[in-house]
Amino acid sequence: MNPFSPSRRAFLNRSTVGIGSLALTHRLLADSALSDRWTGAIKPHHAPKAKRVIFLCQAGGPSHLETFDYKPKLDELNGQPMPESFTKGQPIAQLQNAKELKILGHQHKFVRAGQSGQTICDQFPHIAKIADDIAIVKSMTTMQINHDPAHTFMNCGTQISGRPCMGSWIQYGLGSEAEDLPGFVVLTSVGGGQNQPIASRQWHSGFLPSRFQGVQFHSTGDPVLYVGNPKGVSRDDQREVVDAVNALNRSRHEMVDDPEILTRITQYEMAFRMQASVPELTDLSGEPQHVLDLYGAKPGDGSFASNCLLARRLAERGVRFIHLYHRGWDHHGNVKGGIETTSKLVDRGTWALIEDLKQRDMLKDTLIVWGGEFGRTPMAQGTGRDHHIKGFSIFLAGAGIKGGVSHGETDELGYNAVIDKVSVHDLHATMLHLLGIDHERFTYRFQGLDMRLTGVEHARVVSEILA
């Protein structure tokens, strides 16, 4: 059919509520009539460095003081009262009723790693090996001090529910190169700390059309919900049913000339293809043993390491945004032991993913982000640390990122980010920049407003960490 026919346009208009005129035009030009792959609402504003993003979300709030932010003064003052000048009038989470706030020194040693000599906690020996590949931002700040809203803020740039997350934004803007897979995939793993809940709002498309929401892959049951045939129905049987459905739909279309029905037909084809491609993708047993060993992954174990390997497979197949969550960093008590445990679950997989991508020459156009929703207090909560939003660390690697650098600093006790502060909106602006998007020009009309991922406050691209 002619993609410019009025009915086709009418369909586009209806099925993508409110997409602006540019999006529509681009869509019309880019789409062939019968492929329903979304190719993006915008054209890149500049040449992109990154084709895809793998966000390794360390959920629960890893302690920056036991990962990347070394403060000798903290050890010096271990056990001393925290100066009130730091904490007065500051938001505080579980320590809000504490009688006295005392400094807790680093619970692990730090080492100098790589040519660059980055300081990295000795519990992360594998990440230390890629010190020269990563840019550590030590001056992150966020606005939300509790897990749920902090994740929402980290993902959506606002705490208000019902707004799209970054994966949805990026998928909406740039579309996907994956033929038989969703363009935005979410993988989860657990272990090493209090398993704070993660809500599906974290990968929701909010006011963007729902096709842009993240599709969660599961390690038990169907890898994607409802992707398995009913019992007693073979792939051939399913093919026959799908063929009949599509034939019935074509018949109806001939009667009423409704383009929505044509879309339905392509969606059934896509669904049928996914029924084969998803199990193939998620079956790691075909990976050579040396690759499984590299990650320390066992097929089907649902571990962070397996998810890292899955992330690589998704990246290879053109998925635009891959969001891993590891729920295991909420170390209110025994941060020493907690870090020991969680780091063992995460350290190797992180390194292996970056190594593997490098070996496949994919790191150059894959942006890796590693970090949690906030950091943890320099003050003790018993033997642990409480939530902290005024300064924490994350790292980035891959496409367009300068390796072996650190950016920004917290004060001498690791409390406030004081030099080169980076906000969540700055991080988003930087990620978008690497994907070829000017965050100020990337908007979507909702409730009469041109909404953007980076909000209305000023946000800046952290150019210092760009290669």
Residues between 66 and 125 that touch another protein (CB under 8 A): 89, 91-94, 96
Question: What Å distances lie between residue 117 and 15, 17, 132, CA to CA?
Answer: 53, 51, 8
Query: Is 334 among the residues that bind another protein (CB under 8 A)?
Result: no
User: Alpha helices, DSSP H only, in 235-326?
Assistant: 235-256, 259-282, 289-295, 304-316
182 or 371: CB nearest another protein: 182
Q: How far is the CB of 301 from another protein (least distance, A)?
A: 15
Q: Which residues contact 126 (CB under 8 A, 6 or more apart)?
A: 347, 348, 350, 351, 352
| DSSP one-letter code for 466 | B
Question: What Å distances lie between residue 144 and 67, 105, 154, 249, 267, CA to CA?
Answer: 21, 25, 9, 49, 39
Residues between 387 and 426 that touch another protein (CB under 8 A): 387
Query: Is 383 among the residues that bind another protein (CB under 8 A)?
Result: no
| DSSP one-letter code for 218 | -
Q: Which residues contact 235 (CB under 8 A, 6 or more apart)?
A: 229, 275, 276
Which of 207, 206, 205 has its CA nearest to residue 215?
A: 205
Which of 377, 388, 325 has its CA nearest to residue 143?
A: 388
Residues between 437 and 456 that touch another protein (CB under 8 A): 440-441, 443, 447-450
Selected range binding another protein among 50-58, 221-229, 284-292, 303-311, rule: CB under 8 A: 221-229
Question: Given the DSSP bridges, would you call strands 52-59 and 366-371 parallel, antiparallel or unpaired?
Answer: parallel
48 or 164: CB nearest another protein: 164
299 or 302: CB nearest another protein: 302
Residue 235: its H or E element: helix 235-256
- Helix axis angle, 6-15 to 259-282, nearest 10°: 60
Query: Is 467 among the residues that bind another protein (CB under 8 A)?
Result: no
Q: How far is the CB of 227 from another protein (least distance, A)?
A: 6
79 or 197: CB nearest another protein: 197
Q: How far is the CB of 414 from another protein (least distance, A)?
A: 20
Binding mask 187-206 for another protein (x = CB under 8 A): -x-----xxxxxxxx--x--
Determine which residue in the list 166, 187, 261, 352 makes contact with another protein, applying CB under 8 A: 261
Retrieve residue 214's tokens. 């993240």
Retrieve residue 218's tokens. 């599961």
156 or 401: CB nearest another protein: 156
Question: Given the DSSP bridges, would you call strands 134-141 and 392-398 parallel, antiparallel or unpaired?
Answer: antiparallel
Cα-Cα-Cα-Cα dihedral sign, residues 241, 247, 250, 255: negative
Question: What Å distances lie between residue 338 and 190, 278, 424, 435, CA to CA?
Answer: 13, 34, 26, 35
259 or 403: CB nearest another protein: 259
Query: Is 1 among the residues that bind another protein (CB under 8 A)?
Result: no
Residues between 130 and 159 that touch another protein (CB under 8 A): 145-149, 159
Residues in contact with another protein, counted by CB under 8 A, come to a total of 95
The β-bridge partners of 118 are 113
Query: Is 21 among the residues that bind another protein (CB under 8 A)?
Result: yes
Q: How far is the CB of 361 from another protein (least distance, A)?
A: 31
Determine which residue in the list 252, 298, 360, 458 makes contact with another protein, applying CB under 8 A: 252
Binding mask 338-367 for another protein (x = CB under 8 A): ------------------------------
Q: How far is the CB of 90 from another protein (least distance, A)?
A: 9
Retrieve residue 294's tokens. 């590299």
Selected range binding another protein among 125-133, 231-239, 348-356, 410-418, rule: CB under 8 A: 231-239
Residue 340: its H or E element: helix 335-359
135 or 178: CB nearest another protein: 178
Query: Is 224 among the residues that bind another protein (CB under 8 A)?
Result: yes
Determine which residue in the list 17, 29, 419, 467 makes contact with another protein, applying CB under 8 A: 17
Determine which residue in the list 2, 47, 115, 231 makes contact with another protein, applying CB under 8 A: 231
* Under 8 Å between Cβ of 319 and 336: no
Q: Characterize 329-350 residue by residue with b for buried, 16 or more Cβ atoms within 10 angstroms of its Cβ, and e for exposed.
A: bbbbeebbebbebbbebbbbbb
Q: How far is the CB of 426 from another protein (least distance, A)?
A: 18
* Under 8 Å between Cβ of 188 and 199: no
73 or 211: CB nearest another protein: 211
Determine which residue in the list 44, 83, 117, 162 makes contact with another protein, applying CB under 8 A: 162
Q: How far is the CB of 327 from another protein (least distance, A)?
A: 7
Question: Given the DSSP bridges, would you call strands 409-410 and 417-419 parallel, antiparallel or unpaired?
Answer: antiparallel
Q: How far is the CB of 160 from another protein (least distance, A)?
A: 7
Query: Is 46 among the residues that bind another protein (CB under 8 A)?
Result: no
Helix and strand counts by DSSP (H, E) for the chain = 13, 17
Selected range binding another protein among 164-172, 236-244, 399-407, 415-423, rule: CB under 8 A: 236-244
